[in-house]
Amino acid sequence: MNKLTHKLLAKLNIAVALIVSMVLAGSLGGITYVFASGTSNFTQTINAGTLSLDIVDGSYASVSSPTMAMPAATFSFACQSKIGYFGTSTQQIYVSNPDAAANGWTVSLAASSTADVWASAGTPFDFNDPTASGCTDSADTGDTVGGQMTVDPSVGSIAQGPSANGTTGLSLGSSSAFEEGVTDTITILTSDGTTDIGDWTLQSVKITQTLPAEQPAASDYNIDMVLSIAAS
């Protein structure tokens, strides 16, 4: 009885093994079986970021309402000039190029409008009137006051940001004065694309403002100046 049982089990094992072999071979009764692979191909896309410009603090956080205060002047019967610096350690001009502008970029400074003036509750003064180097008014559009602003980025200071990719290919602009209809925008920083990925800060752009003679004493003079960036 035991011998018969062993023979039957042995024959059963052979049959099972045969069926398993046929299945693994992919053929059973004329039907082909395809088994799914255990390997999955994962994919990843990294898109270029956006070329951007901002005013940031020392921790690279955006400054919500940036300002630049020119040094106080004293009332004078003669035309005079005051010098200030745009871009400080707590309000840095910041450029970020996360693989967005491979051929370089340009940062410029301009007023919101060429007709703008240093506004005041009293008598305003101009930022783009070249008459007598800004000391008197000419027939420029939109105002009857003198005054002129000169921007000199060449004395500024460029530094690399957290990307630490260096500053090769970056250049400071040259000194230029606003003149309505002639020089409405002044370039302060450019990149030729040599270092096409990175981030940078700019500080200490020299700003010289000419004040007309007998400009009234007031503490509320102000003008909005706008930074912009464009890819080359």
Total residue count of the chain as it appears in this document: 232
Q: Indicate the SS3 state at residue 33.
A: coil
Question: Does the pLDDT of residue 186 top 70, yes or no?
Answer: yes
Q: What percent of the chain has pLDDT over 70?
A: 84
Task: Tell me the whole-structure pTM to 2 decimals.
Answer: 0.81
Strand partners, 108: 187, 228
**Residue range 122-132, pLDDT digits in tens:** 999 999 999 99
Q: Where does the pLDDT of residue 107 fall: very low under 50, low under 70, confident under 90, or very high at 90 and above?
A: very high
Distance from chain centroid for Cα 214 = 40
Q: Which residues lie below 8 Å from residue 186, measured CB to CB, with a gap of 6+?
A: 108, 109, 110, 151, 153, 173, 176, 178
192-218: pLDDT as tens digits: 999 989 999 999 999 999 999 999 999
Most confident of 13-17, 118-122, 143-147: 118-122
Quick check: 3 pLDDT over 70?
A: no
- Are 204 and 84 in contact by the 8 Å Cβ rule? The answer is no
- What pLDDT shows up at residue 22? 45
pLDDT digits (tens, 9 = 90+) for 163-184: 999 999 999 999 999 999 999 9
* Integer Cα distance of 120 and 212 in angstroms: 15
- HSE-CB at 48 with a 13 A cutoff on CA atoms is 13
| 194, two tokens | 């040599």
Write the burial class of residue 53 (CB in 10 Å: 0-12 exposed, 13-18 middle, 19+ buried): middle
Is the four-CA dihedral 9, 14, 20, 22 of positive or negative sign? negative
**Summary mean pLDDT of the chain:** 88
Residues 6-58: tens digit of each pLDDT: 554 455 454 444 444 444 444 445 566 666 788 999 999 999 999 999 999 99
Pull the structure tokens for residue 216: 């009234």
β-bridge partners, 36: none
Tell me which of 67 and 36 has the higher pLDDT.
67
